[in-house]
Structure 1
Amino acid sequence: MAGGGEAAALEFTPTWIVAAVCSLIVFLSLVAERCLHYLGKTLVKRNQKPLYEALLKVKEELMLLGFISLLLTVFQGMIQRTCIPAGWTKHMLPCQRLDEKAGEVSATKEHFVAAEILGLIGRRLLSEVGAGAEHCQKKGKAPLLSLEAIHLLHIFIFVLAITHVIFSVTTMLLGGAKIHQWKQWEDRIQKDDAGKGPKKVTHLQQFEFIRKRFKGIGKDSVIWSWLHSFGKQFYRSVSKSDYTTMRLGFIMTHCPGNPKFDFHRYMVRALEADFKKVVGIRWYLWVFVVIFLLLNVNGWHTYFWISFLPLLLLLAIGTKLEHVIAQLAHDVAEKHTAIEGDLVVKPSDEHFWFGRPRIVLYLIHFILFQNAFEIAFFFWILTTYGFNSCIMGQVGFIVPRLVIGAIIQLLCSYSTLPLYAIVTQMGSCYKKEVFNEHVQQGVLGWAQKVKMKKGLKGGARASKGSMNNADSAGTSVNIEMAKATAKEDSEIVGNSE
């Protein structure tokens, strides 16, 4: 039987304690599950299907975390009893070993202060040794992972996933608030179009969109255009003239039969649909987690240098999106000196990296995840080992990481995300969110029938091709299909908007 100072085993623990703890855990779990359930019902009632799908994605991530937790709990005994040579544990350490530190000679006062801190941390890390460690010590080896390390790793994975979801939701809310301000531009355009007079010839330099975006022709103008695009993302990244011109270019290219098309509402629906992809943690992001943990070696300051990666990517994305707008203005200015009527730009995938606007979404996904990783790792170390931990690093490396994290969050929310929402609509294809839910179901049903017919007629090889065509029709409705169904669907789309 356990003594007074030792922890009691389950068979010697009072049943009322076991029942009370289990009741509390079950109660909190049911409250969380019911909250998510009623939130889902509310989103369905308000016809927020994309946000509801994002909520389902969050539930999937929670289920994955639960499975990871189960694996760590079930196999923690096996991991502890897995023994490795003691020499293997002396390489690539996040903190310098206590014995190595004691062997160094230094006459400075800072050395002794650091040695004292490292000693306290070393005793903290070595304070809990389980039965698995004793089992390996008898063989002259070391356990693969201690019980404390397994427990802390378990907590870190949970904190990382929750932080990523919170950061993604925060970015979506702040960016959505910025995009909502454009609604007044859409309402004003709809109102002005009703009483528009006859078309007149206008010189291109009289258009604000051309005057602010077109920097001339030549090598110097290209360099100046990129520099202007870099600076533009920090202040009024999207102006009213930008919105008006890109909106008209989208409508004239993809749905010319419906000039009253609510471009703002379509853009918000498309952004909500993309949000469900951003809130999840894909497999390649878990690979990055493993790589980051691997590179956390003492003296490398890996997390400090890695914190610059999402910032540089975010600045590159913002510059590229602003430059796409400048390219639209450049294409029009090169072909015309004056036009009759309104300024119409030509959307094209050629303006984007590798001709794929979706690449921007994947990069934003990585940026948000990497930023969440930095912040989650900081607070995890802070609450576990304290601010003076050797894993935390020096203050000169900690403060810049936190500042960079705040800059990334604000810049992505108020500039990059709104830019992504409108500029990526300037591709050659538009998304299925251009139709309301009723028409989307009809289009998806049509695509399914096409897939089945081509699969029956063409055999295995043709079946594979038809599936690709049908999938692309279901996820991004192309121009040719829109032209074929314009007469039948334009009135429905117009009424739905």
Structure 2
Amino acid sequence: MGEGEGGGLGGNMKLEYTPTWIVAAVCSLIVFISLVVERLLHRLGKALKRKNQKPLFEALQEVKEELMLLGFISLLLTVFQGAIQKICIPTSWTKDMLPCKKEHSKEGTDAGEKHFRSQFFVGVLGGGRRLLSESGFGVEHCAAKGKVPLLSLEAIHQLHIFIFVLAVTHVIFSALTMVLGGAKIHQWKHWENAIQKDVATAGPKKFTYVHHFDFIKDHFKGFGKDSWILGWVHSFFKQFYGSVTKSDYTTMRLGFIMTHCRGNPKFDFHKYMVRALEADFKKVVGISWYLWIFVVIFLLLNVSGWHTYFWIAFVPLILLLAVGTKLEHVISQLAHEVAEKHSAIEGELVVKPSDDHFWFHRPRVILYLIHFILFQNAFEIAFFFWILATYGFDSCIMGQVGFIIPRLVIGFIVQLLCSYSTLPLYAIVTQMGSYFQKAIFDEHVQEGLVGWAQKAKRRKAQNTDNATESSDGSRESSVNIELKKLVVQRDTT
């Protein structure tokens, strides 16, 4: 049996000519790794349920769903790679919008395409190109027509890796942001404890000039309607230092309690805020459809000479600065409203939460923007490491060092700023909307309310059905009465 038939010595060794111990060993390793990861996720889920961390458990379920989706995408790419190989396109279609400039040799266009593919579709392993041979059936099938395959087998293989790296990076970065941001918010717990003690030992109320409150001093700054630009500038810079002070926390906490739970002055606002943030984490950690659209657009615009990977790195930074500025400006607006309406106040300073302070009158818009920022930043970092591990630092896709270093610096700044400034700001400022979240109740209370609402809905449906039956019965009886009247009239006549 020759090398071409059995493939025993070649790089294209088929499964029927592969030693069984190799197949068994590789399958055992893959199954072992999969079971270990599955068990770890299962144990983590049980730990979260045991600690009554239902929002984080739901976020873990979201991660599992994303991994299942990625597995399905990878399966589709594997199953349909033969069909993709049979899709042939003219050679002229492959000459434009290339991530790297195609180098033409003197041997002609085919040699140039071969050189380009060898540079662009290099495998993670040294033998990757030989394993996923370009001289397969798809290439021969299209070459007979004078065309080329729509996508090479090695390109499909690299798409597998890129999608997996992107999803894992996004999940890790989101979790890292929530952990660091949660640690920052946890530092506010001593403010909550101090406030609880003050509430227990509160003395008689007294009148205080508004401008004597620290909250007003920090945010009013004399910026009136005529100097709104200075107010925005102040909000922009405040997100970098002391984004949330004790006076901010105290004032917004009191405003929330006086609006939504006036009868419970000892309400644990810090605990509620943490529960609400954990509930939002389920939304942040997922990869929505519009984020995949962004990936497709980036891949489309990643053309040689455009440096799209560099310019697009500024998008999450600009959005993050805009979100942080807006959140700080909401706090300033709360201070301005009180300062412009009152000169002196009896007791503590109370602000009025309202959706009107937020973009489109919807505080949840901030969450969608943070979700997009985290995903895009993770995308930038994942793309960098994918190119580095697959093609090397000197790859034409990687670009020049002058473009690489700023990208990494921007990614680090976005991650740090989002964790220690923007996320804590979001956690407290979005509570200044017109409505509170269901996390205001403990988990057992939430379950009780949900059960009560479901029972009320069922009772309402039953009452509606009974009312319909009774109305139908009354209509039938009235019809019978009218028929009897007509019969009597007919008999009498």
Same fold (TM over 0.5): yes
Does the 8 Å contact 1:266/1:434 carry over to 2? yes
Match of 2:56? 51
The one-letter code sitting in structure 2 at the alignment partner of 1:214 is: F
Query: Take 2:343 and 2:120, find their aligned partners in 1: how far apart are those partners?
Result: 73
Partners of 1:377 and 1:232 in 2: CA distance: 32
Instruction: Please say which of residues 88-97 and 259-268 is displaced more in the overlay.
Output: 88-97
State which of 204, 228, 251 in structure 2 corresponds to 1:222: 228
**1:121 maps to amino acid:** Q
Structure 1 residue 41 and structure 2 residue 49: aligned? no
Matches within 5 A, 1:10-159: 10-99=15-104, 121=119, 124=122, 128-129=133-134, 130-159=136-165
The Cα offsets for residues 354-396 of structure 1, whole Å up to 9 and x where unpaired, read as: 1100000000000000000000000100111111111111111
Distance 1:452 1:425 in 2: 32
Provide the secondary structure at the position in 2 that maps to 1:98. Answer: coil
Aligned equivalent of 1:267: 273
Return the alpha-carbon distance in structure 2 between the equivalents of residues 120 and 281 of structure 1: 32
Structure 2 letter corresponding to 1:51: L
Do 2:272 and 2:440's aligned partners in 1 also have CA atoms closer than 8 Å?
yes
Contact persistence 1:215–1:224 (CA under 8 A): no
- Cα shift readout 1:399-426 (whole Å, capped 9, x = no counterpart): 1111110000000000000000000000
Q: Displacement, 1:124?
A: 4.8
Q: How does 1:137-216 map to 2 (within 5 A)?
A: 137-216=143-222
Q: Deviations over 1:227-265 (max 9, x none)?
A: 100000000100000000000000011001111100000
Change (3 A) 1:193 1:10: same
Give the drift of 1:57. 0.4
Distance, in Å, in 1 between the alignment partners of 2:178 and 2:219 is 28
2:358 to 343, 352, 363: 352
Question: Would you say the 8 A contact 1:307–1:401 is kept in 2?
Answer: yes
User: In structure 1, what is the Cα distance between the partners aligned to 2:105 and 2:293?
Assistant: 32
What secondary structure sits across from 2:222 in the alignment? coil
* Structure 2 partner of 1:408: 414
Q: Using a 3 Å threshold, how does the CA distance of structure 1 residues 200 and 53 change in structure 2: closer, same or farther?
A: same
**Of residues 429, 454, 465 in structure 1, which corresponds to 2:435?**
429
Task: Give SS of 1:158's match.
Answer: helix
Deviation sequence 1:82-111 (CA, Å, 0-9, x none):
1111111111111111118999xxxxxxxx
Question: Residue 314 of structure 1 contacts residue 412 of structure 1 at CA under 8 Å; is this kept in 2?
Answer: yes
Q: Is the CA contact (8 Å cut-off) linking 1:118 and 1:390 kept in structure 2?
A: no
Alignment match of 2:282 (pick from 276, 279, 298) = 276
Matching residue's letter, 2:90: P
Larger Rg: 2
CA distance in 1, matches of 2:121, 2:261: 69
The question of 1:239 aligning with 2:245 is answered: yes
Q: Which moved more, 1:174-183 or 1:437-446?
A: 437-446
Identity percentage over the alignment? 74
Name the SS for the 1:198 alignment partner. coil
Q: Does 1:391 align with 2:397?
A: yes
So what's the TM-score if we normalise by structure 1?
A: 0.86
For residue 101 of structure 2, give the secondary structure of its aligned residue in structure 1: coil
Distance 1:123 1:29, change over 3 A: closer
Asked whether the 8 Å contact 2:223–2:231 carries over to 1, the reply is no
Contact kept in structure 1, 2:8 and 2:17, CA below 8 Å: no
Structure 1 counterpart of 2:192, which letter?
E
8 Å CA contact retained: 1:98, 1:122: no
The equivalent of 1:418 in structure 2 is 424
1:443 maps to 449
Looking at structure 1, the residues matched to 165 and 210 of structure 2 have their Cα atoms a distance apart, in angstroms, of: 54
Q: TM-score, normalising length from structure 2?
A: 0.87
Structure 1 counterpart of 2:70, which letter?
Answer: L
- Residue of structure 2 in register with 1:304 after alignment: 310
User: Which residue of structure 2 aligns with residue 481 of structure 1?
Assistant: none
In 2, Cα distance between equivalents of 1:145 and 1:31: 34
* Letter aligned with residue 167 of structure 1: F
> Where does structure 1 differ by over 6 angstroms across 4 or more consecutive aligned residues?
100-103, 117-120, 456-459
Q: Equivalent residue of 2:104, what SS?
A: helix
Distance 1:215-1:6 versus aligned 2 partners, 3 A rule: closer
Q: Report the Cα distance in structure 1 between the residues aligned to 2:392 and 2:55, rounded to whole angstroms.
A: 40
Q: Match of 1:339, SS? A: strand
Unaligned runs of 5+ in 2: 1-5, 109-114, 124-128, 466-493
**1:332-367 Cα shifts (integer Å, max 9, x gaps):** 111100000000000000000011000000000000
> Does the 8 Å contact 2:243/2:421 carry over to 1?
yes
- With 270-279 and 125-134 compared, the bigger mean Cα shift is at 125-134
Question: Quick check: 2:8–2:18 contact (8 Å CA) kept in 1?
Answer: no
Query: Over aligned residue pairs, what C-alpha RMSD do you find?
Result: 2.1
Cα distance in 1 between the residues matched to 2:457 and 2:98: 55
Unaligned 5+ segments in structure 1 are 104-116, 460-497
SS in 2 for 1:26: helix
